């Protein structure tokens, strides 16, 4: 089960206690996935369509709780997509649909369809949270925190996209809208904001697993940074010692190694013998052992000598950290 599906399963089980919130959530679900059919007899049929059995059950429960109505759920099998069902929840035909539509904020008191839910419905903090939960259940998805951080709610209604975006902004979330083939996508990209959104809509289990992965990911990144840092230092050691080796070889082509002062001869021979050793390691091979800075000092002298003799090849022992 994907992280997105898990989150929705969890949210489908959350049932707001207050009627105001239940209504707000149902209103969002209807705006996301609802449709109206008006028959020749001017009967209005209200349906809500979802691909999730749990969301269908939730809609059934919400309609029963808010309006005391028993709805029908029909299952349609999608032919094109494997194993994918579509659940259609329809309100009974012989009800006062105008009343229901007005309660859901889909229709105003004059009987006109309204593009946005009325302010009254979103006046309370609790209802705004419930509304966002409904919108997420109706058209939301969230990436697994293992991948790129992304949460979105997708709708074909531009007005509704703006409503959702503004609602998120009221919770101080930096939501943005992008457009794709006639769809409007309200999205969040920051992991902190996704965590906050999961908190707002009440997906607490999803929030904890998101946080766990985020912490592990953070530690993994830190370990990777350390490893990269060590690799970089190792590369520096190797390239510094390569330059030293080249310098010594160039020097040897001009003068005999025995003509070098004993400490320089010693270090030059050791470097040729152990091209991969770090300065510290070379120092430990000397008798008596010499510290890193002492070894560095000897290489500087070799370098100065090479310069005096006009031998090319630059030693740069300071490259090592
Ligand atoms: Zn409420």
Residue 220 CA, ligand 1 centroid: distance in Å = 41
How many angstroms separate the alpha carbon of residue 128 from the centre of ligand 1? Answer: 7
User: How far, in Å, from the CA of 122 to the mean position of ligand 1?
Assistant: 8
Assess contact for 299 and 264: CB atoms under 8 A.
Answer: no
pLDDT of 45: 82
Nearest-angstrom CA–CA distance, 151 and 114 = 27
For 161, half-sphere exposure in the C-beta direction (CA atoms, 13 angstrom radius) is 18
- Topology given in CATH for the domain delimited by 3-202: Endonuclease I-creI (3.10.28)
Q: Which pLDDT belongs to residue 319?
A: 45
User: Ligand 1 centroid to 21 CA: how many Å?
Assistant: 4
Q: How high is the pLDDT of residue 317?
A: 46
Report d(CA 292, CA 279) in Å as an integer: 6
Which positions ≥6 away from 11 have C-beta within 8 Å?
Answer: 133, 136, 137, 201, 202, 203
Å from CA of 15 to ligand 1 middle? 12
What's the 47 CA to ligand 1 centre distance in angstroms? 24
User: So what's the pLDDT on residue 196?
Assistant: 95
Residue 127 CA to ligand 1 center (angstroms) comes to 4
Among 67, 73, 149, 164, which Cα is nearest to 115's?
164
User: Over the range 57-66, which residues count as b (16 or more CB within 10 Å of their CB) and which as e?
Assistant: bbbbebbebb
Centre of ligand 1 to C-alpha 120, Å, is 10
Distance of alpha carbon 107 from alpha carbon 117, whole angstroms: 9
Phi, psi dihedral angles at 107 (to 5 degrees): -130, 140
Residue 277 CA to ligand 1 centre (angstroms): 70
pLDDT in tens, the chain (321 residues): 899 999 999 999 999 999 999 999 999 999 999 988 877 777 778 899 999 999 999 999 999 999 998 898 999 887 766 667 899 999 887 777 888 888 998 888 888 888 888 888 999 999 999 999 999 999 999 999 988 999 999 999 999 999 999 999 999 999 999 999 999 999 999 999 999 999 999 999 999 999 999 888 888 887 888 888 877 877 777 788 888 888 999 888 888 888 888 999 999 999 999 888 888 999 999 988 999 999 999 999 999 988 888 886 544 444 444
Measured in angstroms, how far is the CA atom of residue 126 from the centroid of ligand 1?
A: 4
In the structure encoding, which two tokens stand for residue 186, read together? 């309200």
CA angle 180/183/185 to nearest 5° reads 80
Beta strands of the chain (E only): which ranges?
Answer: 34-38, 44-50, 72-77, 85-90, 140-142, 151-155, 176-180, 183-188
Q: Are 153 and 183 in contact (CB under 8 A)?
A: no
For ligand 1, the distance from its centroid to the CA atom of residue 20, given in whole angstroms, is 4
Which residues are within 8 A (CB) of 68 and not within 5 positions of it... i.e. 6 or more apart? none
Distance 68 CA to ligand 1 centre (A): 18
The region that residue 121 occupies, defined by phi over 0 for left and psi between -120 and 50 for alpha, beta otherwise, is: alpha
For residue 46, list its beta bridge partners.
36
222 C-alpha vs ligand 1 centroid, how far in Å? 43
What residue spans define the domains of the chain?
A: 3-202, 225-319
Distance 116 CA to ligand 1 centre (A): 18
* pLDDT of res. 1: 86
> pLDDT of 76-87, one tens digit each?
887 766 667 899
pLDDT at 82: 63
Burial of 294 (0-12, 13-18, 19+ CB in 10 A): middle
Distances (CA, A) of 248 to 139, 161, 252, 313: 70, 70, 6, 9
List, as one string, the DSSP characters of 56-90: HHHHHHHHHHHH----EEEEEE-SSSTT-EEEEEE
Contact 158, 178 (CB under 8 A): no
Nearest-angstrom CA–CA distance, 114 and 109: 10
């Amino acid at each position: 089960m994907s992280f997105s599906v898990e989150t929705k399963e969890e949210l489908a089980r959350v049932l707001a206690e207050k009627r105001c919130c239940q209504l707000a959530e149902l209103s969002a679900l209807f705006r996301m996935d609802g449709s109206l059919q008006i028959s020749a007899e001017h009967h209005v049929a209200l349906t809500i369509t979802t691909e999730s059995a749990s969301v269908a059950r939730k809609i059934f429960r919400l309609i029963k709780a808010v309006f005391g109505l028993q709805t029908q759920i029909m299952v349609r099998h999608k032919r094109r997509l494997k194993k994918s069902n579509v659940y259609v929840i329809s309100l009974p035909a012989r009800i006062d649909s105008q009343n229901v539509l007005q309660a859901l904020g889909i229709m105003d008191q004059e009987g006109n369809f309204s593009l946005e839910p009325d302010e009254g419905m979103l006046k309370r903090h609790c209802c705004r949270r419930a509304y966002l939960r409904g919108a997420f259940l109706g058209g939301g998805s969230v990436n697994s925190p293992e991948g790129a951080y992304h949460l979105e709610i997708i709708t074909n209604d531009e007005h509704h996209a703006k409503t959702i975006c503004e609602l998120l902004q009221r919770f101080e979330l930096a939501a943005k809208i992008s457009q794709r083939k006639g769809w409007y996508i309200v999205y969040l990209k920051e992991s902190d904001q996704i965590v906050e959104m999961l908190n707002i809509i009440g997906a607490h289990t999803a929030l904890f697993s998101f946080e766990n992965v985020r912490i592990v990911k953070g530690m993994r990144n830190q370990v990777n940074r350390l490893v990269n840092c060590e690799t970089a230092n190792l590369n520096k050691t190797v390239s510094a010692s390569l330059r030293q080796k080249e310098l010594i070889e160039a020097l040897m082509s001009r003068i005999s190694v025995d003509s070098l002062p004993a400490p320089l001869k010693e270090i030059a021979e050791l470097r040729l013998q152990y091209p991969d050793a770090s300065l510290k390691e070379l120092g430990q091979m000397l008798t008596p052992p010499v510290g890193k800075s002492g070894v560095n000092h000897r290489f500087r002298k070799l370098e100065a000598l090479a310069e005096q003799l006009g031998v090319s090849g630059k030693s740069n022992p300071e490259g090592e950290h």
